Structure 1
Amino acid sequence: NDDEVLLPGMTATVEIIVGRREDVLRVADAALRFTPKGMDKPAGATPGGGAQRGRARLEKLAKDLGVRDDQRKAVGDIFREMGQSIGGLRAGGMEEQALADAIRQLRAQAMQRVEVLLDDAQKARYRQLRAEAAVVKNRRATLWKPGGPTAVPVVVGLSDGTHTQVVSGEIAQGDQVIAGLAPASR
């Protein structure tokens, strides 16, 4: 404020951009907040178990990085091994914090192993994706499709306060979702 445009007692509005995504599927925030009367949001918001999430993560990574078939297979093997190791840790009855630390360590090792498989351009993109993921943690949410209504578990990412990115889920561009109910006409 060197030019003293803001004086004591004045307020300013600031917009801080923590991430930016172009050409993504997004929905109105109202649709993410909506729950039909008498219905609870499902507890698990992403369909399937760890193996299915791992396959979805592999497909997204392969698409984002443009990996070759041999790279995709090697990354798939790394993800599978990591999933089996995490399953073994969970079955071992570790204390919660120790388990979280061990899983974080396994994931870090897996990321290093994946990076070794990539060419320079892919490594740069992979590092960019990891940096973005560190800034914006994806969260689980539920959308409701008309005609039931039907719950659609999704994983969401960045939001601008009006719309939110849909990272994954059984929803596509053009699908209708419920954002609210209109009052009954008389």
Structure 2
Amino acid sequence: MSLRGSARQLQLSRGTVRRLARAATADELLVGRWANFPSILDDHKPYLHQRWAEGCTNATRLFHELKERGYEGGTTVVRRYVSRFREAFPAAGPPRRDPTVRDVTSWLTRYPDSLAEDESTQVKELLARDPALAYTAEHVRAFAELMNNRQGRLLHRWIADVRSDDLPDLHTFVNGLGQDLTPSPPG
């Protein structure tokens, strides 16, 4: 009977049936049969542990480094060994990526209370590093307050405040608002 047919009839995975069929002794049938046998990685394990502690967690890179050090095994052995490290020492998560323009725009145009803690922290860091962005953020939030609270009568004062700051991108926006506010000639 084939391995596949045996697996189906016994309701076991093909890998399990293959392991059982290939076992030469009863010891090999025990789970973890390789636990007490020497590994081709044994001489290289201290180096792998050192590199992992240094922050190198890429199995392919570790494999190539081991090859340069004389390792004669395959990449699968290294991948499996490194995967045990990942299970034992899960990473804290991916490193925080730099925010995109879209991210920052979204953060500045939303209510500050609606930002996640990480977003709020990033906004504070950005505004502390870039005074022009901090002024822009103040004006954007003030504009949002005017619109949300329907305080259009204060728009002229807001426009004057923006024009007094050296923020060319907001000046373009303000000029467009000015054109919208100017009554068009009867035509």
Please give the range of the TM-score, normalised by the shorter of the 2 chains: under 0.3
Larger radius of gyration: 2
Give TM-score scaled by structure 1 length.
Answer: 0.21
Task: Point out the structure with the larger strand share.
Answer: 1
Give TM-score scaled by structure 2 length.
Answer: 0.21
Task: Point out the structure with the larger helix share.
Answer: 2
User: 1 or 2 for the larger relative contact order (CA 8 Å, sep ≥6)?
Assistant: 1
